[in-house]
Structure 1
Amino acid sequence: MDLQLAGKNALVTGSTSGIGAAIVRLLAREGAAVIVHGRRTEAVADGVAELTRDGFRAAGAVGDVSTEAGADQVAGAALAAFGGIDILVNNAGLLIAPKAPAPGDWLTDLGASQASALYEANVNSVFRMVRRIVPQMKDRGWGRVVMLGSVAAAMPREAFPQYSLTKAANLNQMVSLSRLLAGTGITVNAVSPGLVRTPAVEPMIRGWSQSFGWGEDWDVIEHNAATHVLNTPTRRLGRPDDIARAVAFLASPQSDFINGANLRVDGGANPTVN
């Protein structure tokens, strides 16, 4: 399917690694000019260099979107790079999770400052970027905003409730914003992954393996995590490309009649009706 993204400009926050890097590369492959974002100058430069080396149009934006100053810096660089932004993918976020899938630790191990940091990184960062990018989308008469949610938003686990709270808040932001922007040509949707194998997540899964005695073989670890902890019918963890494909579709003109929707890409881990 041609996603008709040629000529579109996309900003993907948190796109130097993991899911964000997969999203920004797929959007570039589909013809969009892309903004690679991260907090570290070197990582952003490496991401841009890799994309441009492969023949894609890419620029960088450095800054911490969990702060007002950082959001200003990122939005300014992104809007200046290609003359405006058509697609905003709010992927940047923070995960503070226990090394074992057991309840109780967060009652003592997660302090108020960490809980506040989660909210700033996962919820207020989205609000900041929407405020800075969406007004010029309205002027352009077309736009796509895609939030990165989580299966934890609708199926919170006892082990990390503050993270689940932030992802549920983002789904509420998504629905409210989709209605606020009625008639503007802008749609707002969310993609909610299950657990995805990324460099940030793998140490947590290996911690589970140590707790349950699964050994060191990754195939065995992944199968056991997906089957016995997450109860995922596909019996595997997600991959960044699984999420990127869903985001790219929602970011495209092909998804024009999808608005205010939460697309679960979780291998069936959430057993409820959406």
Structure 2
Amino acid sequence: MDLDLSGKTALVTGSTGGIGYAIARELCDLGAAVGVNGRTAERVEAALETLRGEAKAGRCFAAAGDVATQAGVDGLVAALPAVDILVNNTGIFEPKPFFDIPDGDWQRFFEVNVMSGVRLSRAYAPGMAERGWGRVIFISSESALNVPTEMVHYGMTKTAQLAISRGLAQTVAGSGVTVNSVLPGPTLSEGVATFMKQMAGGGSDLDLDALGRQFVADHRPSSLIRRLAAVDEVASLVAYLCSPAASATTGAALRVDGGVLQGLA
């Protein structure tokens, strides 16, 4: 199986922690040069210092910028004009009852979760097509299909990513560029860990594995693994999709949701 990404340049947005960081590390391990992205240079440099000590191959470099804004995307693209692999991972979530979500929150979630990927894909995918090889990945969620009542605005953005991913795959058909979306289920990222600790009343001695299993039992009872996924488990699927081995997989929405989604399709 050809997983070698030597000579390829990747950009993983929102990669100073969580799923994004795990993806950046996996792509480095496969030999890629990986741009680590976050909103501030300080967070990016801290992530790079850790990543350089963990990555087995490849190299990593700073790609700071707020991809939730057009100005931030423009600055990032000016500094990094071309990539072979784009992983649109940046995203936010926040539980809030539907009737309490103001217009500003809907717009903010759309800008961060959806338009960041639209703008970056618009900037980078044409160059990939011209060179005859490329990978674009959207990190969606099982919430795209199983919209959570407690955060409808988040689910809306994840569903939008599926439509954009499929439409872009059709746009670059036959070019050697593949476009896919990945649907993680509940995953133990830093943000989710903080969220669970807050729900449990805080404390540094909390058992995150137990909290995660209880969360899944209460809120995602259809899960087949009955636990939160690890960020590395999500990153492994993304790394495969970025590799030469996945050259016939495009326009797809691939699940790494622990069996939360019950449909066969």
TM-score of the pair, normalised by structure 1: 0.90
Give deviations 1:68-99, integer Å, cap 9, x for gaps: 110011122233xxxx311000001111224x
Deviation at 1:208, TM superposition (A): 4.2
**Which of 81, 98, 102 in structure 2 is aligned with 1:106?**
98
Taking the aligned partners of 1:113 and 1:19, their CA distance within structure 2 comes to 26
User: Which whole-Å CA distance do the structure 1 matches of 2:52 and 2:227 have between them?
Assistant: 33
Residue of structure 1 aligned with 2:129, choices 134, 138, 141: 138
Which residue matches 2:161?
A: 170
1:268 to 2:249 alignment: no
Q: Does 1:48 align with 2:48?
A: yes
Amino acid corresponding to residue 203 of structure 1 in structure 2:
T
Q: Distance in 1 between matches of 2:189 and 2:133?
A: 32
**What residue in structure 2 maps to residue 189 of structure 1?**
180
Aligned residue runs from structure 1 range 152-171, under 5 A: 152-171=143-162
- Choose from 119, 140, 153 the match for 1:128: 119
Q: Percent identity between the aligned chains?
A: 38
What are the Cα deviations for residues 81-137 of structure 1, in whole angstroms up to 9, with x where unaligned? xxx311000001111224xxxxxx3312x2211111000001111110011111211
Q: Distance in 2 between matches of 1:243 and 1:220?
A: 20
Are 1:77 and 2:79 matched, yes or no?
A: yes
Flag structure 2 segments of 5+ consecutive residues without an equivalent: none
C-alpha deviation, 1:157, in angstroms: 1.4
2:191 and 2:261 map into 1 onto residues whose CA distance is: 22
Q: 2:185–2:256: 8 Å Cα contact kept in structure 1?
A: yes
Alpha-carbon distance in structure 2 between the residues aligned to 1:56 and 1:175: 30
Asked if the contact 1:51/1:57 (under 8 Å) is kept, the reply is: no
Post-superposition shift, 1:153? 0.3
Deviation at 1:56, TM superposition (A): 3.8
Corresponding position of 1:60: 62
Contact 1:149 / 1:191 at 8 angstroms: preserved in 2?
Answer: yes
Question: Which region of structure 1 is more displaced relative to structure 2, 113-122 or 42-51?
Answer: 42-51
- 8 Å CA contact 2:85–2:135 kept in 1: the answer is yes
Q: Which amino acid aligns with 1:249?
A: Y
How far, CA to CA, are the matches of 1:237 and 1:50 in structure 2?
24
8 Å CA contact 2:16–2:38 kept in 1: the answer is: yes
Cα distance in 1 between the residues matched to 2:239 and 2:208: 29
Alignment partner, residue 108 of structure 2: 117
**In structure 2, C-alpha distance between the alignment counterparts of 1:209 and 1:220, rounded to whole Å:** 11
Shift, 1:3, TM fit: 0.6
Q: Distance in 2 between matches of 1:132 and 1:63?
A: 15
In 2, Cα distance between the equivalents of 1:68 and 1:156?
Answer: 28
How many residue pairs get matched? 259
Aligned residue for 2:209? 219
SS of the residue aligned with 2:181?
A: strand
State the SS of the aligned residue for 1:159.
Answer: helix
Is there any run of 5+ residues in structure 1 with no aligned partner, and where? 99-104
Greater CA drift, 49-58 or 159-168: 49-58
Equivalent residue number for residue 193 of structure 2: 202
CA shift in 2, pair 1:46/1:204, >3 Å: closer
Contact kept? 2:6, 2:58, Cα under 8 Å? no
Deviation (angstroms), 1:209: 4.0
Cα distance between partner residues in 2 of 1:33 and 1:219: 33
Query: Following TM superposition, by how much is the alpha carbon of 1:42 offset from its aligned partner in structure 2, in angstroms?
Result: 0.7
- 2:155 & 2:219 partners in 1: Cα distance? 17
Distance 1:37 1:60 in 2: 7
State the partner residue of 1:101: none
The code of the aligned residue for 2:9 comes to: N
CA distance in 2: counterparts of 1:51 and 1:218, whole angstroms = 24
| C-alpha distance in 2 between matches for 1:172 and 1:206 | 34
TM normalised by structure 2 equals 0.92
Shift of 1:216: 4.2
